[in-house]
């Protein structure tokens, strides 16, 4: 029973999707460290120039409670940068995936019967709904003369 469980787990863990997810998670967490360093070490001090102090140390004391809103704003900036980078990665991947695809030809709309507005087969001569003769296309010239069709 344990062997069956371990085999199922091995099969699950070694699927392509799970491995891709694990690699993406590891790369994402590593990249988060880079973004955090960028905001803490580069952006926060620059923004702190305008605030007059280090941005992370902006606090608000209300009724004996210390609200570290500077650290919160730094976290929001981290999130915005991460969201932008993920958006750009997905955008690039979507474009790369669409390079191999053939562009679909725009479909021509089905012709309509001029009398009852029923959709017709492109080669139809008579309307299946009202039986009107809609065109002389599709009928060979010698047969048209033989049938003496009056095409409107």
- CA atoms of 141 and 148, how far apart (whole Å): 11
**For domain 17-99, is the CATH number 1.10.3720.10?**
no
Q: What is the pTM of this model?
A: 0.47
Q: What is the mean pLDDT of residues 104-116?
A: 81
pLDDT in tens, 50-63: 767 667 777 888 89
Residue 127 has pLDDT above 50, yes or no: yes
DSSP bridge pairs for 67: 60
Apex 107 CA angle, 101 and 111, nearest 5: 170
Partners of 38 in the β-ladder: none
Q: What is the mean pLDDT of residues 66-76?
A: 84
- pLDDT digit string (tens) for 10-31? 777 666 677 777 777 888 888 8
Averaged pLDDT, 95-116 = 80
Question: In the predicted model, is pLDDT for residue 48 greater than 80?
Answer: no
Contact of 136 with 151, CB cutoff 8 Å: yes
Residue 46 has pLDDT above 50, yes or no: yes
Residue 139 has pLDDT above 70, yes or no: no
Of the pLDDT bands very low, low, confident and very high (cuts 50, 70, 90), residue 150 is: low
Task: Indicate the Cα dihedral angle 93, 97, 103, 109, nearest 10°.
Answer: -80
Answer whether 40's CB lies under 8 Å from 74's CB. Answer: yes
Query: How far is it, in rounded angstroms, from Cα 19 to Cα 22?
Result: 5
pLDDT at 105: 75
- List the chain domain ranges: 17-99, 105-152
| pLDDT of the residue at 51 | 65
Task: Give 31: exposed, middle or buried? Use CB within 10 Å, 0-12, 13-18, 19+.
Answer: middle
Per-residue pLDDT for 145 more than 60? Answer: no
Query: What is the percentage of the chain residues whose pLDDT exceeds 70?
Result: 82
């Amino acid at each position: 029973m344990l062997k069956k469980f371990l085999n199922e787990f091995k099969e699950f863990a070694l699927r392509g999707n799970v491995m891709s997810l694990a690699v993406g998670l590891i790369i994402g967490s590593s990249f988060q460290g880079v973004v955090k360093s960028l905001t803490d070490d580069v952006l926060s001090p620059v923004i702190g120039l305008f605030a007059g102090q280090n941005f992370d140390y902006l606090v608000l004391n209300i009724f004996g409670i210390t609200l570290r809103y500077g650290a919160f704003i730094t976290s929001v900036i981290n999130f915005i940068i991460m969201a932008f980078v993920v958006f750009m990665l997905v955008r690039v991947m979507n474009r790369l995936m669409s390079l191999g695809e053939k562009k679909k030809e725009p479909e021509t709309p089905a012709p309509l019967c001029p009398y009852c507005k029923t959709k017709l087969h492109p080669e139809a001569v008579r309307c299946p709904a009202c039986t009107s003769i809609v065109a002389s296309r599709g009928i060979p010239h010698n047969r048209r003369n033989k049938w003496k069709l009056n095409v409107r």
